[in-house]
Amino acid sequence: MAEATIVIDNEVGLHARPAATFVKAAQGFAADITITNLTRGSDPANAKSLVQIFKAAVAKGHEMRIEASGADADEAVDALVALVESNFGE
């Protein structure tokens, strides 16, 4: 299991285009990946589901935990953290 906690700096948070980019990246890994909006205290959401990502309601400034389990869990978390830190490639 791998995990990281990160603060979202993107202006729209994890919504619309950033969410779609995040989900597409997560789907590229075999690991089971979840995100948890720590600021809102939400339940873990499947990072490979756009609907669940929207329900997590991660906004700018929110703290989010990314957790992964499986063969490529470390790589998945590292890649998703890098994606968030790059402002979703923008």
pLDDT digits (tens, 9 = 90+) for 6-22: 999 988 899 889 999 99
> Does residue 15 carry a catalytic annotation?
yes
The structure's pTM equals: 0.94
The domain tally of the chain equals 1
Helices (H), the chain: 17-27, 50-56, 73-85
Q: Return the pLDDT at 88.
A: 85
Among the listed residues 8, 14, 15, 22, the single catalytic one is 15
- In terms of Cα–Cα distance, which of 38, 48, 29, 31 is closest to 8? 38
DSSP state of 21: H
Does some domain include residue 90? no
**Domain around 74:** 2-85
Is the residue at 16 inside a domain?
A: yes
Mind listing the pLDDT tens digit for each residue in 18-75? 999 999 999 999 999 999 999 999 999 999 999 999 999 999 999 999 999 999 999 9
Is 11 a member of any domain?
yes
- Please tell me the distance from the alpha carbon of residue 51 to that of residue 45, in angstroms, as a whole number: 9
> Which domain CATH number covers 61?
3.30.1340.10
Position 89 confidence tier, pLDDT thresholds 50, 70, 90: confident
